[in-house]
Amino acid sequence: MEEKDLVRSSKEGNEEAFASLVKKYRVKVFNLAFSLTRDRDTADDLAQEVFIKAYFALPRFELRSEFGTWLYRITINHVRDFLRKTSRMKRLSIDEIKESSIPQEDETMKREKEQTEERRKKILRRAIQILPDKHQVILSLRDIQGLSYEEITKILRISPGTVDSRLHRARKLLRKKLAPFLSQKGGNHELQEG
Amino acid sequence: MNCKKVEKLILRAFDGRLTEDEKKELEAHLKQCPQCRTTQEEYQLILDTLRKEDFPEPKPYFLERLQPKLREVKKYEPWMVWKQWGMRAIPVSLLVIIFLSATLILFSPPREEVELSQAFSQSGLLLLQNQNLFQETTTLLETGGTEDKNMMVIFTSIDDKNGTRRDF
């Protein structure tokens, strides 16, 4: 059955059709929630809630856009609400990132490439988490999920020009936050090849 | 071309959004500007790391865990609909009530006048209208002969008993 047929059947209350849609999109929804929350349990809970919301909102979905686009929109709004409610208590400031990430010199020498890579990702994740919401979302959609400009304009309902400028700003901000780790003069070299 | 504009081009190049001319411009600038080359390398490193991001799998039995939740929520669906729309309906209903009340007050018929004409006798109305209560008597007394006066008084008293009034 094609996706549009699955959506139509789901709108009429067919649970099996909706289950097929869940199977198709569960990983995508989970990944998007994970890229914004960085916590597997939270992302899993949020993904479940997104599908519950989508199921009850289906009667109002008019098939004007792709189901996936619509579902991504619900996910982003739901995760944003969650982040607002929790006031980002788990967020760390950039200072904390520095503190927790600066390794002892002799230890650094011993670390292998894999560990360096893992550390680098950790620093990046934390730096992303202290960016404003809209910048986190655009980085997640474009640079982590790899969605096209066209898809992003539909999901966020913004013009291609706005996608361009917002993405540009988000990447610049991220680089600024990571400056201490990227600096080659006197700073530590966490993000440089180890 | 200044380095600020080059940074923009570097970022757009990662998305494959440069024209041929812009690509040439960028390459030429990067060849002679070590600072912009560093900027490009840093962005490359950041974006590579982001794109290599690996995600954990959702927890097992995602669908099996979802289905009972959906059924549970379905049970409360009517309440949810009420919660969503009913709560919004309360202020709207209040506004409608206020509007209707105001309309009734403003456009209701002038009941006071009707009530006054029913509540007061003719003498009372004359008093309210600031008119002379003894108008008839005065007119009678001012007319000519005694016989005429007597006849008019008799007719007037008969008219009063019948509930009619004669104006002179």
Per-residue pLDDT tens digits for A30-63: 999 999 888 899 999 999 999 999 999 998 998 8
Using an 8 Å Cβ cutoff, are A166 and B32 in contact? no
**Per-residue confidence (pLDDT) for residue A175, from 0 to 100:** 94
Cβ separation of A164 and B73 shorter than 8 Å? no
CATH fold match for the domains A3-85 and A94-182:
no
Q: Which of B11, B66, B80 sits opposite A48 (nearest CB)?
A: B66
DSSP for chain B, written as a single string: --HHHHHHHHHHHHTT---HHHHHHHHHHHHH-HHHHHHHHHHHHHHHHHHT---PPPPS-HHHHHHHHHHHHHHTHHHHHIIIIIHHHHHHHHHHHHHHHHHHHHHS--HHHHHHHHHS-HHHHHHHTT--TTHHHHHHHHSS-HHHHHHHHHHHHHHHHHT-----
CB atoms within 10 A of CB A84: 10
- The verdict on A175 touching B (C-beta cutoff 8 Å) is yes
pTM over 0.80: no
Cβ separation of B56 and A144 shorter than 8 Å? no
Using an 8 Å Cβ cutoff, are B120 and B131 in contact? no
Name the residue ranges covered by the structural domains of chain A: 3-85, 94-182
Q: Which residues of A touch B11 (CB under 8 A)?
A: 167-168, 171-172
Q: Which of B45, B58, B65 sits opposite A30 (nearest CB)?
A: B58
Domain A3-85 classified CATH 1.10.1740.10? Answer: yes
**pLDDT tens digits, A147-158:** 999 999 999 999
Q: Mean pLDDT for each 10-residue chunk of chain B (168 residues)?
A: 90 93 94 94 92 87 93 72 65 88 81 60 72 70 66 69 54
Pick the CATH number of A94-182 from 3.40.50.300, 3.40.50.1220, 3.30.70.120, 1.10.10.10: 1.10.10.10
Cβ separation of A164 and B67 shorter than 8 Å? no
How many residue pairs bridge chain A and chain B with CB atoms within 8 Å of each other? 93
Q: Which of A23, A44, A52 sits opposite B63 (nearest CB)?
A: A23
Q: Which residues of A touch B66 (CB under 8 A)?
A: 22, 48, 51-52
Cβ separation of A172 and B69 shorter than 8 Å? no
Per-residue pLDDT of chain A (194 residues; tens, 9 = 90+): 789 999 999 998 888 999 999 999 999 999 999 998 888 999 999 999 999 999 999 989 988 889 999 999 999 999 999 988 886 544 444 444 444 444 455 555 555 677 777 888 888 888 998 899 999 999 999 999 999 999 999 999 999 999 999 999 999 999 999 988 876 444 445 565 44
Search chain B and give the residue with CA nearest A193. B45
The ipTM is 0.76
Q: Which of B52, B56, B67 sits opposite A34 (nearest CB)?
A: B56
